[in-house]
Structure 1
């Protein structure tokens, strides 16, 4: 048994998607630290036509 799904549980195995999210975030932090370009929108802009 791996225990609860929690960031403080070292025995819980990450999924491939979890690992990819971690790698993406690490890359984002490196770009920010290096003064890289602004990040793209993570979600599409909402229409004003509502």
Structure 2
């Protein structure tokens, strides 16, 4: 088992980061972009990959 993987990263972003951002900035829209090798596999099953 890997210590950190894409599922853990997405879970943390969804459960913690987005909620904190929405509380701190309720009238703003957030965009999160990840550009590292371990997160390239992080996407939902119906993501458009061009």
TM-score by length of 2: 0.40
Structure of greater relative contact order (alpha carbons < 8 Å, 6+ residues apart):
2
